[in-house]
Amino acid sequence: MRLAVRVQLSFMMFLEFFVWGAWFVTLGTFVLKNLHGATDERVGYAFLTQSIGAVIAPFIVGIIADRFISAQAILGAIHLAGAALLWICSGMTDFDSFYPVLLVYMILYMPTLALVNSISFRQMSDPSKEFSFIRVFGTIGWIIAGLLIGWLQWEQSNSLDLTFKMAAGASLLLGVFSFTLPKTPPAKKGTEISVKEILGLDAIRMLKNRSYLLFFLASIAICIPLAFYYNFTNPFLNEIGMKAAAGKQSMGQMSEFLFMLVMPLFFARLGVKKMLALGMLAWVVRYALFAYGNVDTNYWMLIAGIILHGICYDFFFVTGQIYTDKVAGEEFKSSAQGFVTLATYGVGMLIGFLISGPIVAAYKTSGTMHDWHAIWLIPAGIAAVVLVLFMLFFRDGKQ
């Protein structure tokens, strides 16, 4: 790959995830502090827009980008429209008005995650060796967004409307920049549209494999406690008095970056089952640390819980993608990845977003305060049950 193209793709990834990280981490706090009519349940509804976008995303990418319009042109158009929607979100003060705008934005944004990958892959001769060095700039973008929010103290000054304005500016830049990216014409222009192919349902036959079926169900189930983390970690940390919480949370992405580098070593030594199990165990430990942590004597527990994100995400989700690729074989590689993504970010997190809000609301103590000890033990318990069932019944051919 030419250096100029590598720089273009790296900057594209940086902006793609900077845009998302700039507002998504603090969304729960923004909803509770800036919007009239906001409740803990409605925080869950706000994050639910991600799952709705994930369900609809395959149709946009599979139908439009694969068959009619170049990927870089769609990416540019979406981010230009997204910049306007994010700017509108920044000025809203009522949840009922805010929600539909955010929903439209996420329906547009979620397909861009696949589009940036598609644009990158089309420029590579060996994606298995080249892609990770491009994708890592996305993680850097998310980290810098969080550090900026913490450094500027927008959480403490109740200025989280500025996170949407910052994201809007980055989205505008990416929208314009996208039209300069290498041309990525439709790969399946003129071919017949198959809904089964778009949703990855051709890969459903993999569920005949008993171990893969268990992994598939575990993937859905583990995304339920994952939703608690996305929804309420930032409101939790701000409520208990952590300063620059969004900046501290970026340590989770730093951890993700480091563990991504050492994953091949762990994978060779541990194999699929132990890697997946360690990922799930990390979820249990993370939520237990949150349950018993505080900003005084047990501050280290909060930091440790955040840093565990690297193991939580890389050891389970990235290992799961590798395992899915192995089970699928050559015939269903692409559709299999789409299938498991639809199940996790679509179905699994949708369930988590729906139940996390009412659970948090049930443990409200007085005013805006909550019994976070009891709250965090619930996702810890869910993750523990998933882990035990997985260890008892999962069998991988190489174990």
Residue 199 has pLDDT above 70, yes or no: no
CA distance 319 to 324: 9
Are 373 and 292 a contacting pair, CB within 8 Å? Answer: yes
Q: What is the mean pLDDT of residues 87-99?
A: 95
Per residue in 279-320, pLDDT (tens digit) is 999 999 999 999 999 999 999 999 999 999 888 888 887 777
Residue 183 has pLDDT above 90, yes or no: no
Residue 79 has pLDDT above 90, yes or no: yes
Confidence of residue 159 (pLDDT cuts 50, 70, 90): very high
Tokens of 323: 């395992």
CA distance 152 to 172: 22
Helix or strand run (H / E) with residue 233: helix 210-239
Q: Range with the lowest mean pLDDT among 48-57, 95-104, 196-205?
A: 196-205
Per residue in 223-252, pLDDT (tens digit) is 899 889 988 999 999 999 998 898 899 898
Q: What is the mean pLDDT of residues 369-375?
A: 94
234: left (phi over 0), alpha (psi -120 to 50) or beta: alpha
CA distance 378 to 373: 9
Q: Range with the lowest mean pLDDT among 12-21, 126-135, 246-255?
A: 126-135
What is the per-residue pLDDT for 68? 73
CA distance 64 to 184: 13
* Domains of the chain, CATH where assigned: 1-179 (1.20.1250.20), 197-399 (1.20.1250.20)
